[in-house]
Amino acid sequence: MARAVEQLSVGSRVEEVAGWGRHPVARGRVERPERLALPAGGEPLVPRGLGRAYGDAALPSHPGGLVLESTRADRIHSFEPATGRLHCEAGLSLAEILRVFVPRGWFPPVTPGTKFVTVGACVACDVHGKNHHRDGSFGNFVDRVTLRTADGRVVECGPDRERELFLATLGGMGLTGLIVDVTLRLRRVESPWIVLETQGMASLDAMLEGLRLSAAHWPYTVGWIDCLARGADLGRGILMRGRHATQVEAGTRRARRAVPLRVPFDAPEWLLNPLFMRWFNRLYAWSHGTALRRRVVSYDAFFYPLDAVEHWNRLYGRRGLLQYQCVLPRAAGSRPVATLLERLGVAGAASFLAVIKDCGPASDAYLSFPMEGITLALDLPNRGAVTEALVHDLNATVIEHGGRVYLAKDAVTRAEDFARMVPRLAEWRAVRERWDPARRFRSAQSVRLFGDPG
């Protein structure tokens, strides 16, 4: 009965809104409609999905601003079993796609480190995954995006239609229009299982070489780096590479029902250090040396280890965390990566674990994050001004070597620094100016980085 909701004139209440890093925190009026539409009257708004962006990408531009959450607009329009083409509403999550389509032999073409993201957000952030070196980012598998633009029109864009708008929308952080529908191509897989190989790497150069060698034969590669290691051990860690298992390899394995763990409340800040230390040391001991181990694991264990722990971000305490992710061009070599790791060591503020990954060629999308080179991601427990200063310090190194940071993670980068990282920013701004001259779509991040009205 449609009237149920239309008649409900209960105004949206002001609530606290934060990214996954839980810093910063803003106040906004959150609406979660079952069909995505723009409110009458032209009020500015920020689109939001499942809130997995770490920083301020999905926070309102001003206190009490409108936040349009897409998660209830999650219907599938069609699926073509012959081609894997999935046409769906923007609020559909990868978790739901996996639940429905993995049993039928289909997998998301690109997935970030959490499955609790919406398809709309995958487009808006042009997300990448462990297969970036081979397949590129999410946008490579998107055929069509339907937008509600600032003037209220429904506009379809894609690689072959309204191409500039399409390229501005991929990685455009939802600022070109409200993403309503998406058509993407799923990937055929033989089984829900992943053949995983892990190998201890003694140094940064060994890790980078390992990633390079694995890239030729493995669709999924990634490294975990022990940030506590110094000197000759700098950059040591574990290399992981995986591929979808064949039916024969999967055998008669049956998925075990995952027991969801949960962090019930904020951890005190002192807890973090010994806990993570022990955890990592055990992990390292397990994989110590250069022994190669091969196993067959579930796709959840391989792609989404942290999703098994609900609210794991609470481990960082009430003040939350800043996630830092940058990419450095291949030409810069391993030196700047080592510099970043050393800086973190000196600051003593680092997480104990960093994720490292080699990226393939950049996409044509103006603001898309990945570029051919090395990307590094790590958690920085938020300690206020010290942590922000550290980010600016890391940014200086990144700018010096021609790299950039990932907007889905960022909360503090300065506008002038971001402009120096992204040479195509002016092109993106020009397209946005055409489609949304009044900046109807704006966020705390776009106020910070693009000078939008607050």
Partner 1 sequence: MKIAMVGATRGMGRALARRLAERGDALFLLGRDEADLGLSARDLEARGAPLPVGQARLDLGEPAGFAAALDAADRALSRLDALVVTGGLFARQDELAADPARLAALLHANFTGTVLLCQQTAERLAARGGGLICAFGSVAGDRARRGNYLYGASKAGLAVFLDGLDLAYRERGVRVLCVKPGFVRTAMTAGLPVPPFAGEPDAVARRVLVAMDAGRHEVYAPGVWRLVMLLIRALPRAVLRRVQF
Site for partner 1, rule CB under 8 A: 1-5, 7-13, 31-35, 72, 75-79, 100
Q: How far is the CB of 49 from partner 1 (least distance, A)?
A: 16
Q: How far apart are CA 387 and CA 324, in angstroms?
A: 11
**What angle, 0 to 180 degrees and rounded to 10, lies between the N-to-C axes of helices 335-347 and 204-215?**
130
Q: How far apart are CA 426 and CA 436, in angstroms?
A: 15
- Comparing CA positions, the residue from 39, 182, 80, 84 lying closest to residue 124 is 182
Q: Which is nearer to partner 1, 31 or 388 (CB)?
A: 31
Q: How far apart are CA 96 and CA 104, in angstroms?
A: 13
- Distance set, CA 302 to CA 38, 96, 113 (Å): 38, 17, 9
Q: Which is nearer to partner 1, 4 or 291 (CB)?
A: 4
Q: Which is nearer to partner 1, 77 or 335 (CB)?
A: 77
Q: Which is nearer to partner 1, 29 or 244 (CB)?
A: 29
> Regarding beta strands 65-69 and 45-48, do their DSSP bridges make them parallel or antiparallel, or are they unpaired?
parallel
Q: Which is nearer to partner 1, 97 or 211 (CB)?
A: 97
Q: Which is nearer to partner 1, 96 or 249 (CB)?
A: 96
Q: Which is nearer to partner 1, 163 or 188 (CB)?
A: 188
Dihedrals phi, psi of 251, to nearest 5 degrees = 60, -135
130 token code pair = 């462990």
> Regarding beta strands 25-31 and 14-18, do their DSSP bridges make them parallel or antiparallel, or are they unpaired?
antiparallel
Q: Which is nearer to partner 1, 105 or 345 (CB)?
A: 105
Three-state secondary-structure class, residue 27: strand
Q: How far is the CB of 302 from partner 1 (least distance, A)?
A: 25
Radius of gyration of the CA atoms of the chain, in A: 21
Q: How far is the CB of 1 from partner 1 (least distance, A)?
A: 4
Q: How far apart are CA 158 and CA 10, in angstroms?
A: 37
Q: How far apart are CA 276 and CA 380, in angstroms?
A: 13
Three-state secondary-structure class, residue 393: helix
- Region for residue 78 given its phi and psi (left: phi exceeds 0; alpha: psi -120 to 50; beta: otherwise): beta
Q: How far is the CB of 6 from partner 1 (least distance, A)?
A: 10
Q: Which is nearer to partner 1, 37 or 271 (CB)?
A: 37
225 token code pair = 């780096």
Q: Which DSSP string corresponds to 305-349? A: GGGGEETGGGGG-TT-EEEEEEEEEGGG-SHHHHHHHHHHHHHT-
Q: Which is nearer to partner 1, 79 or 312 (CB)?
A: 79
Total count of residues recorded for the chain: 454
Q: How far apart are the first and last CA of the chain?
A: 38
